[in-house]
Amino acid sequence: MPIVNLLGKLQAAATALGIVAPSIGASKGKAYEVWIMLEIAARLKRRGVKVYPLNQNNQMETNLRVNGAPANMPGVDPSGSGACHFLFVRDANFVELHLGLNHLGLSGATHEIDLSVLPAAQGWELRQKGGGPFDGHVRVGLELKAHSDQYKLDHSIPRALLGVAMDLDPSWPIQGWTFHTSGGGSGHRMDRTSKMRLAVMTTTQLFDSSRQYLEHHGAGAHADVTPGGNTAAIDAVVVWIDDLLA
């Protein structure tokens, strides 16, 4: 597909999926995830980021295949029939966006992240090795829930996301530190943007305590994320990804 036509294709697909994404019911969950994936790609393209839909062989695809259930990174395969991902490029910086990818925690347990951004070199290296749960550095992780608007999102969802973060990177909750030397010198505070960024997005509302819990630990808490609702939450994640490419 010519790159000049890609933005229109992405936006058309995102709009079409947006029609069903807010619907109630677990069967719409995957449509919701794909809608947000496509919106992220389209919005990054508008910001001047180069966007490539690729198969597991790093070849351009015109048909975007996604995981219907949690799945490992596919290995390189002549058939090229595994799940696709997006490659985002600005200058000499590259990251990948995957849907429904399993990640390997330090405990040895695997954890699905609905949408995850990871270094492209690490993704390609794992595919060349035959695939498997991704055990590299997660740069952005999104928990996405299409949910009945009659109920607020259960507290267990934010708690589970932060539990996954601890297993992937135990240093993640550390906001930063200051150190002092015997000579009177002072230290520096960790730049949070260099660490993994996490967020919950849902079509419904969040409990105030869930929002407080997430925001205290530096994670995004986004309610009413629908085509006619809080799409600014998607822009916030787009900024995170664009910052990785700066």
**Residue 51 sits in a domain of what CATH number?**
3.40.1350.10
> Within 13 Å and on the Cβ side, how many CA atoms surround 23?
13
- pLDDT, tens only, 86-135: 999 999 999 999 999 999 999 999 999 999 999 999 999 999 999 999 99
Helix (H, G, I), strand (E, B) or coil at 101: strand
Is the per-residue pLDDT at 84 higher than 90? yes
- 8 Å CB contact between 114 and 100: yes
Domain assignment of residue 228, yes or no: yes
Domain assignment of residue 27, yes or no: yes
- pLDDT, tens only, 194-227: 579 999 999 999 999 999 999 999 899 999 999 9
**H-type helices in 21-119, by residue range?**
29-46
Q: Is residue 73 left, alpha or beta, with left meaning phi > 0 and alpha meaning psi from -120 to 50?
A: beta
The one-character DSSP state at 184 is: S
> Domain span at residue 155?
3-171+192-244
Is the per-residue pLDDT at 21 higher than 60? no
Domain assignment of residue 116, yes or no: yes
Query: 155: which 2 tokens?
Result: 């507290």
Domain assignment of residue 186, yes or no: no
pLDDT of residue 24: 33
- pLDDT, tens only, 122-164: 999 999 999 999 999 999 999 999 888 888 999 999 999 999 9
The mean per-residue pLDDT over the stretch 24-48 comes to: 84
Q: Give the number of domains in the chain.
A: 1
Domain assignment of residue 187, yes or no: no
Q: Which long-range contacts (CB under 8 A, 24 or more apart) does 228-232 make?
A: 228/22, 229/22, 229/203, 231/39
